[in-house]
Structure 1
């Protein structure tokens, strides 16, 4: 099958398939006489495995570590490893939720401090009139959705 058919079977763009080839998640396919990529059923199964793993939030490195275990045949070992990776991902999410809850509380404190300040005609030199000091460290917030 051609790259567009392969990508369509897993619901990803062709650029994703090319990317997975570049980073080593997908093998380099055979080429037709006219130079088109030519994929077999094994590539479709592998791409589906990779796509589902990515949708679960696993990184390309984590998937790379899964591929030798899975290889399309060792479902039990792969299932065990995926279960452990899911546990790790859930721990990361719980930690991130705690960080974001702390950040939300910091923002609430800043909002309360701002609302308590009387409006000034001009900004103070330390800018506490419009950006008061907040307790706690900076919290990194990603503003883009991961694929």
Structure 2
């Protein structure tokens, strides 16, 4: 099947298929005489595996490690490792929620400081009139971390 058929069958964009090939999650397919990529059912199964793992929030590196365990036939080993990765992802989510609660509290503090006094006619040189100093640095990475 062609790349567009494979992508449609799994529910991803053709650019996603090409990206997964570039980074090694999918092997390069054979080519037709006219140079078109030619995928088979094994490619489809692998793409489906990769797509589902990515939709669970697993990083490409994590998916790559799973592919070595799964290889299309070691379901029990892959399922066990996926379970471990889910546990790790859950712990990461709990940690991120705690960080976000802390960040929300810091923002409440800043808002309270702004509301505590009327703004002056002109900005102060230290800008505390419109952007008060927060209680501490906000270290918040909104991009998911690779683990």
TM-score, scaled relative to structure 1: 0.94
Contact 1:100 1:139 in 2 (8 A): no
Distance in structure 2 (CA, Å) of the matches to 1:82 and 1:133: 44
| Aligned equivalent of 1:50 | 50
| Aligned equivalent of 1:118 | 118
Distance in structure 2 (CA, Å) of the matches to 1:17 and 1:113: 50
Return structure 1 stretches of 4+ with deviation > 6 angstroms.
Answer: none
| Aligned equivalent of 1:15 | 15
Distance in structure 2 (CA, Å) of the matches to 1:65 and 1:141: 25
- Pairwise CA RMSD: 1.3
| Aligned equivalent of 1:99 | 99
| Aligned equivalent of 1:29 | 29
Aligned residues: 144
Distance in structure 1 (CA, Å) of the matches to 2:30 and 2:100: 47
Please, which runs of 5 or more residues in structure 2 have no aligned partner? none
Q: What's the CA shift for 1:136?
A: 2.3
Q: What's the CA shift for 1:124?
A: 0.7
Distance in structure 2 (CA, Å) of the matches to 1:119 and 1:125: 13
| Aligned equivalent of 2:129 | 129
- 1:76 and 2:45 aligned: no
TM-score, scaled relative to structure 2: 0.94
Please, which runs of 5 or more residues in structure 1 have no aligned partner? none
Q: What's the CA shift for 1:141?
A: 4.7
- 1:87 and 2:79 aligned: no
Give per-residue Cα distances to partners, 1:57-94, cap 9 Å, x unaligned.
Answer: 00000000000110110000000000000111111111
Distance in structure 2 (CA, Å) of the matches to 1:126 and 1:117: 16
Q: What's the CA shift for 1:138?
A: 1.7
